[in-house]
Amino acid sequence: MLQLNYIRENRDTVIERLAVKNFKDVALVDEIISLDEQRRQIQSESDAIAAEANSSAKQIGDLMRQGKKEEAESIKAKSSGYKEQIKEFTERLSQVEQELNNKIVQLPNLPHSSVPVGITPEENEVVLTHGDIPDLGDTKLPHWELLTKYDIVDLELGVKVTGAGFPVYKGKGARLQRALINYFLDQAGAAGYTEVEVPVLVNEASAFATGQLPDKEGQMYHVTNDDFYLIPTAEVPVTNLYRDVIVKEEQFPIRHCAYTPCFRREAGSYGAHVRGLNRLHQFDKVEAVQIVHPEKSYEVIEEMSNYIQGLLQKLELPYRVLRLCGGDMSFTAALTYDMEVYSAAQERWLEVSSVSNFETYQSNRLKVRFKNEDGKMQLAHTLNGSALALPRIVASILENNQTDKGIKIPAVLVPYTGFEYID
Report the number of distinct structural domains present in the chain.
2
At 111, phi and psi to the nearest 5? -70, 145
Confidence of residue 63 (pLDDT cuts 50, 70, 90): confident
Give the per-residue pLDDT at 334.
Answer: 98
Residue 223's beta-bridge partner residues?
228
Q: Are residues 199 and 69 in the same domain?
A: no
Are 197 and 316 in the same domain?
Answer: yes
Q: What is the DSSP letter of 119?
A: S
Domain boundary among 79, 104, 129: 104
Judged against a pLDDT cut of 60, whether residue 267 lies above it is answered with: no
- For residue 292, give its domain range: 121-422
Residue 109 lies in a domain: no
Which 3-state string (H, E, C) describes 188-214?
HHHCCCEECCCCCEEEHHHHHHCCCCC
How far is it, in rounded angstroms, from Cα 328 to Cα 121?
A: 6
Question: Is residue 111 in some structural domain?
Answer: no
Q: How far is Cα 52 from Cα 75, in angstroms, rounded to an integer?
A: 11
Answer yes or no: is pLDDT of 32 > 60. yes
**Are 226 and 279 in a shared domain?**
yes
- pLDDT at 268 exceeding the cut of 60: no
CA distance 210 to 220: 14
Residue 112 falls inside a structural domain: no
Alpha-carbon span 324 to 365, nearest angstrom: 24
Q: Is residue 291 part of a domain?
A: yes
Q: Do residues 264 and 309 both lie within one domain? A: yes
CATH of the domain at 150: 3.30.930.10
The stretch 66-82 carries a mean pLDDT of 77
Please give the biggest Cα pair distance in the chain. Answer: 107
Angle between helices 82-104 and 27-65 (to 10 degrees): 160
Average pLDDT, the chain: 94
Q: Classify residue 198: in a domain, yes or no.
A: yes
310 and 163 in a single domain? The answer is yes
Q: Do 291 and 411 fall into the same domain?
A: yes
Query: Does residue 30 lie within any of the structural domains?
Result: yes
Query: Per mean pLDDT, which range of 107-111, 192-196, 274-278 is the poorest?
Result: 274-278
Number of C-alpha atoms within 13 angstroms, CB side, residue 151? 2
- pLDDT exceeds cutoff 60 at 331: yes
Spatial distance between the Cα atoms of 307 and 303, rounded to a whole number of angstroms: 6
Q: With bands split at pLDDT 50, 70 and 90, how would you rate the model's confidence at 336?
A: very high
42 and 164 in a common domain: no
Query: Is position 362 within any domain?
Result: yes
pLDDT at 217: 75
Q: Which residues contact 408 (CB under 8 A, 6 or more apart)?
A: 401, 420, 421
Q: What type of residue sits at position 326?
A: G
Same domain assignment for residues 260 and 228: yes
Residue 94 lies in a domain: yes
Per-residue pLDDT at 269 exceeds 60: no
- Co-location of 94 and 179 in the same domain: no
Phi-psi region of 77 (alpha: psi -120 to 50; beta: other; left: phi over 0): alpha
Question: Does residue 414 carry a pLDDT above 90?
Answer: yes
For the ranges 14-18, 119-123, 215-219, which has the lowest average pLDDT?
215-219
pLDDT score of 21 more than 80: yes
Check whether residue 80 and residue 137 sit in a common domain.
Answer: no
16: domain CATH number?
A: 1.10.287.40
Query: 196 and 308, same structural domain?
Result: yes
Residue after which a domain boundary falls, among 104, 137, 162: 104
Residue 282 has pLDDT above 60, yes or no: yes
| Residue 291 and residue 409 share a domain | yes
